[in-house]
Structure 1
Amino acid sequence: MGPRLLVALVLLATACGTAGGGGNDVQGKTFTSTSVTEQGKPRPLVEGTKVELRFTADGRLLANAGCNQMQGPVKLDDGKLTVTDLSTTDMACPGEGLQEQDEWLSGLLGAKPSWRLDGQNLVLTGANTEMVLAPKPQAPLEGVTWTVDGIVTKDAVSSVPEGVTGTIAFKDGHIYVQGGCNSGSTDVTGADKYEVDGQRITFGSSLAMTLMLCSEDKMKVESAILDTLELGEVTFEIDGDTMTLMNANGVGLKLRK
């Protein structure tokens, strides 16, 4: 093969983007649509909506087109996006065209579209449709005050009592907690700093808290925070401006930036 032909092939491969492989480059990321075309012409989405695709670290796809939430196990082998057992919530979509848009997205995902990365963007291609999605910016774990938005017990999520604000912050290797009444941190004399390994946070010291007696609602949020952190190890998953913290006992928190 001559040098000119080799250069031409390299340029062609670069122009076409990276064909989808096993999906490691999209797992744990969320993408939002920037353009949709059908048969080469723009397909307008319902005003104020975008398609959002979230690929979880445990191999599921969560999809939304402005109304109902869809999800199912996903495989990304050989450049094909294959969703099995795609389930959806059954909310009544209030806006005109939202129900039809949900059905359109469900049909696209169910037809095993091709996928590839074009730089940072995800490109899905169906029989007559091409959709370009940009990665959604992720909030950082550290240096952010995360507010408790839900309390997780196994597979159930309960809401935070009205008027109660609990927060967690990860900063300079220490965890800082405000439970709505009492506060505390791992930043005590001789305390080990936490370590982040992938999506796992470990910390070797106990959380030192003040010990005021608070109202029942405040104590509920405080107890949920302490129960989540009691094992000295949690996993975290950040999706845009939200985060889920879970420990090995299935106890955890939903938090927002």
Structure 2
Amino acid sequence: MRMVVVAGLLLALAGCGDESSASGGSLKGKTYLSTAVTEDGQPNELVANTRISLHFTDDGRLIADAGCNSMQSPVKTSGGKLSMDDLAMTGMGCDQPRHAQDDWLSKLLSADPAWKLEGDQLTVSSGGTAISLQDGQTAEPDLALDGTKWILETVITGEVASHSAGAEKVWITFNGERVTGSTDCNELQGPVARDTTKLTFGEIATTRRACAGDAAVLETALLNGLKGNVTYEIDANRLKLRAPSNGLDFTATR
């Protein structure tokens, strides 16, 4: 996936500073999910079905997501500030409201925002904007791959993400070495092997009902995404499947 550098090239980070100074503890190795956003003390609603995610890696990077593209940079956390050398962002196409939300978060993170950690509650603020977040393992523990009904949300082809009408009727479920599901037009099933980060799909069989229009497009996209080796990642109630040239995003309700 192409990376668009927001402010030059990513630089190597030599240490993260004193994370446990006045801001209340270490952020390393943790993911925080937004619970509220305020602008000048007033609630600011995010785009529907999105949530801000901030992941602080063990090697000193911040990986952020506002619902569309992923952005990352080496980060220093000393002095109660999140200081980034350069912020890089993927170039995936999304709808205008989510693009605008990406830009808003990118600008906030690039402004050396203040941070404060109290227990499992993180606050990140800049100017009149404050984002309240909670430790992800408390807010939304990751769902299990097996036994969860994963509903299609986004189809990714190259650098374009699409959200098609009828996708909410397309789903898959994993049970051990089998995957089953529905394209909405046909039922599907097939073998799947796995390790900690990779799924390997065998031949997927479907029923023989003819599909047309959006249903045919979704069926083709789903079956293309369930071929061969793909990486997978579960973040709370979201499942991401990625191959070199395509991908599928799913959500599950608890």
Gaps of 5+ in 1: 1-12, 38-42, 93-98
Q: Which moved more, 1:130-139 or 1:216-225?
A: 130-139
**Matching residue within 28, 41, 44 for 1:44:** 41
Please state if 1:235 is matched with 2:197. no
The corresponding residue for 1:4 is none
Measure how far apart 1:35 and its partner are. 8.6
Report the Cα distance in structure 2 between the residues aligned to 1:35 and 1:219, rounded to whole angstroms: 39
CA contact (8 A) 2:23 2:116 kept: no
- TM-fit CA distance, 1:153: 0.5
**Structure 1 residues 1-257: aligned runs within 5 Å:** 17-20=24-27, 23-26=28-31, 30-33=32-35, 44-46=41-43, 52-55=51-54, 60-63=63-66, 72-79=71-78, 80-82=82-84, 84-85=86-87, 108-113=108-113, 115=115, 118-124=118-124, 132-134=132-134, 135=136, 136-138=139-141, 140=143, 141-162=145-166, 165-186=169-190, 194-197=193-196, 200-203=197-200, 205-231=202-228, 233-247=229-243, 249-257=244-252
CA distance in 2, matches of 1:148, 1:253: 7
Instruction: Name the TM-score, length of structure 2 as normaliser.
Output: 0.61
Separation (CA, whole Å) in 2 of partners of 1:77 and 1:16: 13
The alpha-carbon deviation at position 59 of structure 1 amounts to: 5.5
Q: How many residues align?
A: 215
Q: Could you give the per-residue CA deviations for residues 11-48 of structure 1, whole angstroms, max 9, x where no partner exists?
A: xx8x974234xx4323xxx51146979xxxxx623265
Counterpart secondary structure, 1:202:
strand
Structure 1 vs Structure 2: percent identity of aligned residues? 20
How far apart are the structure 2 equivalents of 1:149 and 1:173? 24
Instruction: Give the structure with higher Rg (CA).
Output: 1
Gapped regions of structure 2 (runs ≥ 5): 1-19
Is contact 1:173-1:194 (8 Å) kept? yes
Quote the Cα distance in structure 2 between the aligned partners of 1:243 and 1:132. 24
Distance in structure 2 (CA, Å) of the matches to 1:33 and 1:132: 6
Question: What amino acid is the match of 1:253?
Answer: L
Q: Residues 179 and 218 of structure 1 are in contact (CA less than 8 Å); yes or no, is this contact kept in structure 2?
A: yes
Tell me the SS of whatever aligns to 1:227: helix
